[in-house]
Structure 1
């Protein structure tokens, strides 16, 4: 977490060292002030007060600068942890629910920042203050000082007994919070459907029920941390009182002045109190460690299951003796298939037959159970990983401008985007004003069919040699379906269109028609 932040960490530690001298200053000046007043030396007492004030100003300045550098470190760590989660989501776009990454970025990183990053740097400061003050204490009176400090170590037993307990509470809250985020995400995405069937109340009830579970788990986590911290505080106060009683005996015997006892008492407190804070911080860090372990797991990019081979320029994708499906659930067996450049192929099959799984396999997202799927590298652009365009049944729209939705933020000229829109029959949006209009939310200006044509335009803009279409014609009226089908036929690459229901006049427009029957791929028309 602190890699690349050496200067900030060093500055924070340097000002922490200066700030740690507060453990000496307060006890020292108060002890001297008490002895001067007891002796009636008011001039020296006044001068001591002036010195004390100057010292406090130096401490206040050190504290302000220490907090400034600490805030800078925390800001950078938060940004890096959130960026790491975004990188994971980008490296594995097909794996992991969006709500999981959302919970990590919005909630868990905040927990890590507060309970590990801030706690760790404060932990270092407390250790520094303990070391500085203990050295000062030993210079005053070794026996009495050791009694105070020795009794103060009794509370150290608490974290050894509570660490496992606290970790279990944190893991429980983490699981409950993730389930709440998942349910909330489902409710927000599906509230239109729930409203249509008058089922909003049950949906809200489910979310609120899980919210109660999540908050209850959070309360349990906080309660257990407070119990552990309270035990530490009680033992700490008891130890100081016992030490104070023993110190009074030394004053009565004439071995210490009242001011010296106050100095030792306060200095011992500045040794023990930071140690108790360290224990509490350790509890916080132990409880939050599972969250950090999860986020710090190395990023593993999804790997493609496609093999690149050299072959005839016409043959773009080949499957040999393939079995498509999932472990213990094969869907398509004995698959031998060759798809050629420029072909327009229709795959028509009932739901559950494996057609979507077949497409994912051809894209390299799912491995074959048996056999081999290969791409002809001689017929593809050199930039690996950018060969497939996709037209979804329900296209995703970013809350960005039409131009940004089309280019996905990459550097394409307006003229290129306008040409792509014109090529798919969206000429009415091929102008600078339309490209600057915001889509998404309540700003939608495109119909369902136009959104699907926008996806084809994006594939054209990005020059994808292969276009996969996932039931894009479903849900469109006859005119819109015919218009989209015409756009697909004119696409300058291989088109694989998956449809469940399609009219016979549109079927005739494809070069080849495939279907799946009884677990085997059959070619109806070539």
Structure 2
């Protein structure tokens, strides 16, 4: 309940307005029974004038109820909108705080599917739950004013279905958890298929890929069907017990009419009013089932955001030294990759790290960036040689650069406030002068709008590092996949970069190797420096 209450923090005025109009709307529970009972009694005795006047009053009452309902739904919609925005923003914040943890598809499923489930089955259900309780309280008070014994019989029998939620809550939660897992697996497989469909197409393997996705879709939909079916079974059982109890109460009420203790109109009023007591209670039970079944989704989304921890130590040192590793062991628990690592990287150096696949090159770079902790030893950064803003030290050029479906300028600046002149300057510095103009900066990249080649995309990443003034540039096999001319052009850009450059390459031509200040390699689990 504490987590549910957090959904409504900061919405006091909206909730107050919603409850106020829910109170007005709750009088619908007594209006219909009251006016219909009076109308029936007037017609029974032939008083048509009073019957007509009762009809006019009834119409005015219904208009007020309709207005209250419209306003209640308006404020309810405002509350639901704010909750959806806050939950989605919270998931985005969680993804931003942990950019290297959690699959993108997991956050996508949470934002697009699970937030909607929480909105519909918890937020809307809870506020409707409050309205139903208000209607029950108002109508029950009215019922007791009419005839206490008969009213209590109707209401007492109506409480029989309340036993159902106690028996079905655990059952419903298990079904929801099962669907949540199956749906996440489907989203993961769908994400893989959509990202890899070009590869599958080249090898004529689209059909097996589609088959895997469809198979998991069937599992997901089957789990969803089971979840819905179990909820419907619980709700149907409640409805059957409710109808049986109401009919039994009506039979007892007929005995009171036959004995002369009630008029026909009074029995109709009590019957309808009792229904407006019991029916909202049954709705409350069904809403409680929905909220119970959806609680696991809320528990997941409301988990506190835990930012990723940097494993770098800031120290004071000589100006020329940027990064230093002492007695380090690089790798993963039970799987060390590089042992006995002692390394000093200096300001302005251009360093080549050349080693075979699987030797630990990329893991070493992630360790130097503080993303992966050393198994032993420590890695430190010289705070005297770095900008003061933590986290702004590393630029990276990846083998397959990611491109947003945004303009060239937005891909370069990542939406931050840089002037066009600044962006044009860095584009010229990396050999992309033909794009250093307002027209090119406004062109959309990504999807089918790609205007840059593979080598140009990698130079764009260098330009971004220049724009953001990164003192350290990490290059992850950026030369691979480029022809000789493009590789040479990118290598020249890297040599001119005004900071420390660490270039990881698997294959590189001898003429390019000679352009680096230092050459490192990994042999038998140890980092070694070799001559060019």
Shorter-chain TM range is over 0.9
What is the alpha-carbon distance in structure 1 between the residues aligned to residue 158 and residue 344 of structure 2?
78
Unaligned runs of 5+ in 1: none
Return the offset for 1:464.
0.2
Q: Which residue of 2 aligns with 1:4?
A: 10
Return the offset for 1:359.
0.3
Indicate yes or no: 2:333 matched with 1:333: no
What is the alpha-carbon distance in structure 1 between the residues aligned to residue 393 and residue 30 of structure 2?
68
SS in 2 for 1:13: helix
What is the alpha-carbon distance in structure 2 between the residues aligned to residue 211 and residue 34 of structure 1?
56
Q: Which residue of 2 aligns with 1:231?
A: 237
Of 495, 499, 509, which aligns to 1:503? 509
Q: Deviations over 1:233-285 (max 9, x none)?
A: 00000000011111111111111111111111111100000000000000011
Return the offset for 1:4.
1.0
Q: Which residue of 1 aligns with 2:385?
A: 379
What is the alpha-carbon distance in structure 2 between the residues aligned to residue 101 and residue 170 of structure 1?
18
Q: Deviations over 1:490-521 (max 9, x none)?
A: 00000000000011111110000001111111
Return the offset for 1:58.
0.3
What is the alpha-carbon distance in structure 1 between the residues aligned to residue 127 and residue 531 of structure 2?
70
What is the alpha-carbon distance in structure 1 between the residues aligned to residue 497 and residue 408 of structure 2?
21
Of 190, 194, 198, which aligns to 1:192? 198
What is the alpha-carbon distance in structure 2 between the residues aligned to residue 414 and residue 263 of structure 1?
75
Q: Deviations over 1:324-380 (max 9, x none)?
A: 111111111111111000000000010000110000000000001111100000000
What is the alpha-carbon distance in structure 1 between the residues aligned to residue 232 and residue 288 of structure 2?
13
What is the alpha-carbon distance in structure 1 between the residues aligned to residue 437 and residue 247 of structure 2?
80
Q: Deviations over 1:401-427 (max 9, x none)?
A: 000000000000000000000000000
Q: Deviations over 1:99-125 (max 9, x none)?
A: 000001111111111111100100000
SS in 1 for 2:357: coil
Q: Which residue of 1 aligns with 2:448?
A: 442
Return the offset for 1:18.
0.2
Q: Deviations over 1:184-229 (max 9, x none)?
A: 1000000000000000010011111111111111111111110000
Return the offset for 1:431.
0.5
Query: Structure 1 length as normaliser, TM-score?
Result: 0.99
What is the alpha-carbon distance in structure 2 between the residues aligned to residue 457 and residue 354 of structure 1?
27
SS in 2 for 1:43: helix
Q: Which residue of 2 aligns with 1:213?
A: 219
What is the alpha-carbon distance in structure 2 between the residues aligned to residue 491 and residue 456 of structure 1?
8
SS in 1 for 2:381: strand
What is the alpha-carbon distance in structure 1 between the residues aligned to residue 418 and residue 321 of structure 2?
30
What is the alpha-carbon distance in structure 2 between the residues aligned to residue 255 and residue 369 of structure 1?
87
What is the alpha-carbon distance in structure 1 between the residues aligned to residue 399 and residue 142 of structure 2?
74
What is the alpha-carbon distance in structure 1 between the residues aligned to residue 367 and residue 148 of structure 2?
76
What is the alpha-carbon distance in structure 1 between the residues aligned to residue 432 and residue 56 of structure 2?
80
Indicate yes or no: 2:419 matched with 1:413: yes
Q: Deviations over 1:67-101 (max 9, x none)?
A: 01111111111111111111111000000000000
What is the alpha-carbon distance in structure 1 between the residues aligned to residue 12 and residue 235 of structure 2?
32
Return the offset for 1:33.
0.7
What is the alpha-carbon distance in structure 1 between the residues aligned to residue 481 and residue 368 of structure 2?
25
SS in 1 for 2:336: strand
Indicate yes or no: 2:56 matched with 1:26: no
Return the offset for 1:323.
0.6
What is the alpha-carbon distance in structure 2 between the residues aligned to residue 33 and residue 300 of structure 1?
64
What is the alpha-carbon distance in structure 2 between the residues aligned to residue 2 and residue 363 of structure 1?
40
Q: Deviations over 1:108-149 (max 9, x none)?
A: 111111111100100000000001101111111111111111
Q: Which residue of 1 aligns with 2:122?
A: 116
What is the alpha-carbon distance in structure 2 between the residues aligned to residue 511 and residue 155 of structure 1?
81
SS in 1 for 2:392: coil
Return the offset for 1:301.
0.6
Return the offset for 1:303.
1.0
Return the offset for 1:302.
0.5
Return the offset for 1:60.
0.3
What is the alpha-carbon distance in structure 2 between the residues aligned to residue 517 and residue 160 of structure 1?
65
Return the offset for 1:39.
1.2
Unaligned runs of 5+ in 2: 1-6
Of 270, 287, 290, which aligns to 1:264? 270
Q: Deviations over 1:440-498 (max 9, x none)?
A: 01111100000000000000000000000000000000110010000000000000000
What is the alpha-carbon distance in structure 2 between the residues aligned to residue 464 and residue 315 of structure 1?
16
SS in 2 for 1:421: helix
Return the offset for 1:40.
1.1
Return the offset for 1:170.
0.6
Return the offset for 1:525.
2.9
Deviating above 6 A after TM superposition, structure 1's stretches of 4 or more consecutive aligned residues are none
